[in-house]
Amino acid sequence: MNILLLLMIMMNSLFAPSQQVKVFVKPEALKIQVGSSDVFDLRLQAGEGIHVNTRPSITIESQTKGVELSIKEISKSGEYLDLEKAIEISCKTVGLAPGEYRADFAVGFTYCNDNEGWCRLGKDSSSIEIEVVK
């Protein structure tokens, strides 16, 4: 019984959302002309003793139809993400009529604990408000 409980705890920690790294967006809203694009800053904040690797690559995936997101610029410190600088994200609207939208997205990354010597795949979700104008 104790072994089963231990295995369940271990599996839960392997597949749980990252509590070690959080994603923040600035500004929290964009105003974009129909069919155009703009940029926003994405910051990852890591807990003490945690670093975010740049290999494998950090990914961003839009979960909103009509919104395309891509990483425009990323600052590195060796093989690690420079957490003092923002990741520049390009946001393009495709086929969206004028109006207000909430663009949800997921960010994927690999993070490591320097003190304990382990690495894990992490994922965090966020959103940005978009006003599409003529």
- The class of domain 19-133 in CATH terms is mainly beta
Q: Where are the alpha helices (DSSP H) in the chain?
A: 2-15
In angstroms, how far is the first alpha carbon of the chain from the final one?
Answer: 63
Instruction: Fill in the amino acid letter for 69.
Output: L
The model's pTM is 0.83
CB of 52 within 8 A of CB of 46? yes
β-pairing, 118-133 vs 99-113, is antiparallel
Helices and strands counted in the chain (H then E): 1, 11
CB of 89 within 8 A of CB of 69? yes
C-alpha span between 26 and 28 (Å, rounded): 5
C-alpha span between 69 and 128 (Å, rounded): 11
Domain boundaries, the chain: 19-133
Per-residue pLDDT of the chain (134 residues; tens, 9 = 90+): 555 434 444 444 444 445 799 999 999 999 999 999 999 999 999 999 999 999 999 999 999 999 999 999 999 998 899 999 999 999 999 999 999 999 999 999 999 999 999 999 999 999 999 999 99
β-pairing, 29-33 vs 118-133, is parallel
